[in-house]
Amino acid sequence: MKTCIYPGSFDPITYGHIDIIERASKITDKLIVAVLNNHDKQSLFSVEERLEMIKDSVKGFNNVEVESFEGLLVDYAKSKDSRLIIRGLRAVTDFEYELQMAQTNRELYKDLDTVFLLTNLKYSYVSSSTVKQVAAFDGDVNKFVTPFVADKLMRKYNKHFV
């Protein structure tokens, strides 16, 4: 059975991520969406909150699992018996960083390959950071995230609930 891992921050999960998950789930037996628990990176949502939002977003896909991990992605991949990492590419600005990561991971674990799925044009401009900026200023985020996530964002910024 082939297992792919889609790692990321997902702070929070957007329709861009969900599009990648949907497409990746079709090309593998099992897809694990893996939230990196990175203590150095400041995130808006806790790992538990991010897991909850991803689980809600992927409930329609029956071969998708959601987990968090700490430490090196290569060690996590080995522990899951996976040799394939999925990442999404939006603009050319993503490329340099993604190339560096993929090459480093391959140096660390020779059998590990990274597969890049090109963004759906509809969501090519969508990122977790811009979604957070829009939400912080009380903008409508419903085009970018699911209603469940939009609600969490609004609560986080204490909009409409104070």
Which of 67-70's residues contact partners 24+ apart within 8 Å by CB, and which partners? 67/32, 67/33, 67/34, 67/35, 68/34, 68/35, 68/36, 68/37, 69/7, 69/34, 69/35, 69/36, 69/37, 70/36, 70/37, 70/38
Task: Report which residue's Cβ sits closest to ligand ADP.
Answer: 16
Q: Which of 25, 43, 82, 128 is catalytic?
A: 128
In the region spanning residues 24 to 63, those forming contacts with ligand ADP, defined by CB under 6 A, are none
Question: C-beta of 122: minimal distance to ligand ADP in Å?
Answer: 9
Q: Is 106 a catalytic residue?
A: no
Question: C-beta of 160: minimal distance to ligand ADP in Å?
Answer: 26
131 part of the interface to ligand ADP, by CB under 6 A: no
12 part of the interface to ligand ADP, by CB under 6 A: no
20 part of the interface to ligand ADP, by CB under 6 A: yes
Question: How distant is the alpha carbon of residue 140 from its chain centre?
Answer: 21
